[in-house]
């Protein structure tokens, strides 16, 4: 039995969920999210509670049960609170700035790195060494953060590069004489 799948997903005030076939649409103050479940699970909306049940006792149905419940909970969280990733830039001369719909990064290369901001994600730069990525889709927010971090991942000797806020970088000792 899935411990996660058994828990019902509560819909807070101002959030509505409608099911048509295997697709659930969640509407909230921040937007609309959809999730299409496989045929192995059944989605039921009772008032302000969404429950997910497996249709059989097969291994695949049990796997999809907990995953589907988590995806629906993420849809609800996305349209109410949203998701957020914060990046820090460390290094002499490394900085970021937002110009229109483009994030401009100076990361020690001979050229500036320009990253076009996707339409479903908002990026803000409160300080030249901080980048905040927000959106209603957790996967998209994480993917955009990973793409930005991929331009200059933190290196282990001096710690220079783009890191997630609070990320620990294992430091190595340099050469000895």
Give per-residue pLDDT as tens, 90-145: 999 999 999 999 999 999 999 999 999 999 999 999 999 999 999 999 999 999 99
Question: E strands along the chain, which residues?
Answer: 9-10, 16-20, 23-28, 31-36, 41-46, 49-54, 83-90, 95-99, 102-106, 113-116, 121-124, 130-135, 161-164
What is the reported pLDDT for 2? 67
pLDDT-derived band at 13, boundaries 50, 70, 90: confident
Which residues lie across from 6 on neighbouring strands? Answer: none
CB 90 within 8 A of CB 78: no
Question: Alpha-carbon dihedral of residues 155, 157, 159, 160, nearest 10 degrees?
Answer: -70
- Model confidence at 1: pLDDT above 80: no
Domains and CATH numbers, the chain: 3-80 (3.90.930.12), 83-164 (3.90.930.12)
Mean pLDDT across the chain, nearest whole number? 91
The verdict on pTM exceeding 0.95 is no
Token look-up 């799948």 returns: 5
Q: Give percent of the chain with pLDDT exceeding 90.
A: 65
Which residues lie across from 43 on neighbouring strands? Answer: 52
């Amino acid at each position: 039995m899935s411990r996660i799948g058994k828990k019902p997903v509560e819909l807070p005030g101002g959030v509505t969920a409608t099911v048509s076939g295997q697709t659930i649409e969640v509407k909230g103050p921040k937007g609309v999210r959809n999730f299409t479940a496989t045929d192995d699970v059944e989605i039921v909306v009772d008032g302000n509670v969404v429950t997910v049940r497996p249709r059989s006792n097969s291994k695949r149905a049990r796997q999809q049960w907990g995953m589907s419940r988590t995806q629906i909970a993420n849809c609800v969280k996305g349209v109410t609170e949203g998701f957020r990733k914060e990046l820090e830039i460390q290094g002499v001369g490394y900085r970021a700035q937002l110009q229109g719909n483009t994030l401009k990064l100076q990361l020690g290369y001979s050229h500036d790195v320009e990253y076009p901001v996707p339409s479903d994600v908002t990026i803000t730069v409160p300080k030249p060494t901080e980048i905040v990525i927000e959106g209603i889709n957790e996967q998209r927010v994480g993917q955009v953060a990973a793409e930005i971090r991929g331009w200059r991942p933190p290196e282990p000797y001096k710690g220079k590069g783009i890191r997630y806020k609070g990320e620990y970088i294992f430091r190595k000792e340099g050469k000895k004489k």
